């Protein structure tokens, strides 16, 4: 029987990995943090808070709040000033994991890479043709 024991990435304690990738005590803590964040955000007077206000008021890190949002656990639909940092540039976003600008850049890079690949293939084809033409002309002589 093998035990999948690993260090909890959150607190460093050793624990047996079952389903979660953090230890059971951290799971509990994260749940409590979620509760705090959720309750704070739901209050009418806190609707206009931003992620910094929220983090300060609840003591929950912006990173963790971002995680809740990305996991789909926390909705920011009713909190117009709520945003979290784009994973690429750190700019504020309200959906996805990167901002529109970075998504556009990624698309551009992807299309450049595709063009590059096409050029490389064409080049390889051309070389092959040249080589076979050389080969043929060499034999004709």
Using CB under 5 A, list all residues that contact Zn ion: 8, 10-11, 13, 23, 26, 86, 88-89, 91, 99, 102
Q: Residue 40 Cβ, how far from Zn ion at the closest point, in Å?
A: 23
Q: How far apart, in whole angstroms, are the C-alpha atoms of residue 52 and residue 54?
A: 5
In the complex with Zn ion, the residue whose CB is nearer, 59 or 138, is 59
Minimum CB separation of residue 90 from Zn ion in Å reads 7
Give least dist CB 56 to Zn ion, A. 24
Q: Is the CB of 21 or the CB of 131 nearer to Zn ion?
A: 21
Q: How many alpha carbons fall within 13 Å on the CB side of residue 33? A: 21
In sequence order, which residues have a C-beta less than 8 Å from that of residue 84 and are 6 or more positions away?
51, 62, 65, 66, 69, 70, 92, 93, 94
- Token pair recorded at residue 91: 């700019």
């Amino acid at each position: 029987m093998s035990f999948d024991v690993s260090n909890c990435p959150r607190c460093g304690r050793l624990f047996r990995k079952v389903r979660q990738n953090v230890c059971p005590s951290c799971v509990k803590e994260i749940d409590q943090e979620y509760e705090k964040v959720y309750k704070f955000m739901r209050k009418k007077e806190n609707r206009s808070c931003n992620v910094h206000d929220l983090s300060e008021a609840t003591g929950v890190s912006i990173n963790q709040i971002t995680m809740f949002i990305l996991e789909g656990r926390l909705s920011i639909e009713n909190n117009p000033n709520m945003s979290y940092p784009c994973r690429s540039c750190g700019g504020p976003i309200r959906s996805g994991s990167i901002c529109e600008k970075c998504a556009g850049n990624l698309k551009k890079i992807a299309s450049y890479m595709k063009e590059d690949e096409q050029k490389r293939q064409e080049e390889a084809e051309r070389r092959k043709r040249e080589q076979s033409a050389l080969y043929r002309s060499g034999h004709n002589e």
